[in-house]
Amino acid sequence: MVTRSSTGAPRPNGRRAPGRLILSAAALAAVLAASGCSGGGSNGGGRAPAGAGGSTTSGGTTTGGSGGTTTGGGGSTTGGGGTTGGGGTTTGGGGTTGGGGTTGGGGGTTTGGGTTGLASGSFSALSYNVAGLPQGLSGSNPIVNIPRISDKLNAYDLVLAQEDFWYHGELAQDAQHPHQSVPLQQSGRLVNDGLNRFSDTPFFDFARQRWQSCNGLTGAANDCLAAKGFSAARHELHPGIFVDVYNLHCDAGGSRDDIDARNDQVVQILAYMATYSAGKAVIVAGDTNMDGFDPADEPTLRALLDGAGMQDSARFLNVGIEKIDRLMFRSSLDVRLTPTQWRIADEFVTSNGDPLSDHEAIHVDFDWQQLR
């Protein structure tokens, strides 16, 4: 049976630059006035307090295909978020080159599992910060580059995009995945959460959560200008086989307030996972803005991994490098997830070899096996 199963300039200590969108108060006022947004969040570089928002919304529907679609509509929320993040400069890393998964007719494969009747299969996943801030504010050239990204997404069974703020129509125009999230329509911020997904398998219970804590409105990477947070949905890999998939974008920057905001964000997503995903197999992907083994970031990253019982795919496969853009996972008593390849998806470049975003896309192949 077949089923459709960043580079930023490093700071002197090697960590990502605190962010590319740094606006003065006067410039911010002009941008907000032009956009019709009333601001909000923290003032200057200060933090918005925990509890200052973070309501859940249904936030999107899947389109096309059959089965497991959800309804909702974006809904307005309050609270923090962020807009930027760096990404390291190392290239290469693990696995082969070219697109992930199989193309045409449905993507990853499923087998019947022999005499036990237990199914197994595989799928390809991509996490990609597409640098979709408005032209001139983005660290890339989104008007030109995002349409070029669109068709390349079809090589993957599951795509989790971050910073899909301003050009979602262009990002989706050539994507053939039958199940796609609808962007957050009302956020109360300059830009929405930028979190969208493209899937070859159905998903349902789609929800968006805004971070309750963020740092920076007119400084500190301007994280509070966006309605950043995380989204979650239950994906059906095969009839009766489910994995909960999260897409996140954490606060950028390296100040103490930025680190505290990320700590708060980890606490928030872990609390959500403890309820929604209790006992479930899980994938958490996205732009964590956490550098692995950095003394300032590793404790926060370990809190996320250990608190949810997850492993980072790059570390699991011992590829020797990792990025702030991650795909983390855990198995359950019902479904075993096993990463089989981690690589930087180096096809996301122009004909001259220039990157299509200021982040590199991360590709991980997973095998899955039904356990009972």
DSSP 175-210: ---SEEPPPP---SSSB----EEEESS-EEEEEEEE
pLDDT of residue 109: 58
Surface-to-core class of residue 65, CB atoms within 10 Å of its CB (0-12 exposed, 13-18 middle, 19+ buried): middle
Look at residue 278 and tell me whether its pLDDT is greater than 60: yes
pLDDT band at 220 (very low <50, low <70, confident <90, very high): low
Cβ–Cβ under 8 Å, residues 74 and 184: yes
Q: Hey, what domains does the chain have and what are their CATH numbers?
A: 25-370 (3.60.10.10)
Residue in the block written with tokens 């679609």: 69
Lowest mean pLDDT among 75-89, 124-138, 192-206, 227-241: 75-89
pLDDT tens for each residue of 338-353: 999 999 999 999 999 9
Using CA atoms, how far apart are residues 287 and 252, in angstroms rounded to an integer?
9
pLDDT of residue 22: 45
Using CA atoms, how far apart are residues 184 and 194, in angstroms rounded to an integer?
8
* Three-state SS at 149: helix
Q: pTM here?
A: 0.77
152-191 burial, b if ≥16 CB within 10 A, otherwise e? Answer: bbbbbbbbbbbbbbbbbebbbeebebbbbbbbbeebbbbb
Residue 184 contacts by C-beta under 8 Å, 6 or more apart in sequence?
57, 59, 60, 74, 75, 192, 193, 195, 208, 227
Look at residue 58 and tell me whether its pLDDT is greater than 80: no
Averaged pLDDT for residues 11-30: 42
Look at residue 326 and tell me whether its pLDDT is greater than 70: yes
Mean pLDDT across the chain, nearest whole number?
Answer: 78
Choose among 346, 348, 340, 342: nearest CA to 366.
340
Higher pLDDT, residue 46 or 202? 202
What are 33-41's contacts with CB under 8 Å, separation 24+? Answer: 35/190, 37/188, 37/189, 37/190, 38/188, 39/217, 40/78, 40/188, 40/189, 40/217, 40/224, 41/80, 41/189, 41/214, 41/217, 41/224, 41/225
Averaged pLDDT for residues 271-282: 98
* Three-state SS at 148: helix
Look at residue 35 and tell me whether its pLDDT is greater than 60: no
Report the percent of the chain where pLDDT is more than 70: 67
Cβ–Cβ under 8 Å, residues 215 and 232: no
pLDDT band at 221 (very low <50, low <70, confident <90, very high): low
Q: Which amino acid is at 142?
A: P
pLDDT of residue 112: 58
pLDDT of residue 46: 46
pLDDT band at 191 (very low <50, low <70, confident <90, very high): confident
pLDDT of residue 139: 82
Look at residue 19 and tell me whether its pLDDT is greater than 50: no
pLDDT of residue 309: 98
Averaged pLDDT for residues 124-149: 93
105: how many CB neighbours lie within 10 A of its CB? 7
pLDDT of residue 137: 83
E strand or H helix that includes residue 94: none
Using CA atoms, how far apart are residues 142 and 120, in angstroms rounded to an integer?
39
Averaged pLDDT for residues 189-193: 86
Residue 64: both structure tokens together: 């096309």
Lowest mean pLDDT among 62-76, 173-187, 207-221, 258-272: 62-76
Question: What percent of the chain is helix, strand and coil (3-state, nearest 5)?
Answer: 20, 25, 55
Surface-to-core class of residue 100, CB atoms within 10 Å of its CB (0-12 exposed, 13-18 middle, 19+ buried): buried
Look at residue 76 and tell me whether its pLDDT is greater than 60: no
pLDDT of residue 123: 98
pLDDT band at 108 (very low <50, low <70, confident <90, very high): low
302: how many CB neighbours lie within 10 A of its CB? 15
pLDDT of residue 190: 79
* Three-state SS at 244: strand
pLDDT band at 260 (very low <50, low <70, confident <90, very high): very high
Report the percent of the chain where pLDDT is more than 90: 62
Residue 158 contacts by C-beta under 8 Å, 6 or more apart in sequence?
123, 124, 125, 126, 197, 198, 199, 200, 201, 235, 245
Q: Taking the chain, what is the end-to-end CA distance rounded to the nearest angstrom?
A: 19
Look at residue 33 and tell me whether its pLDDT is greater than 80: no
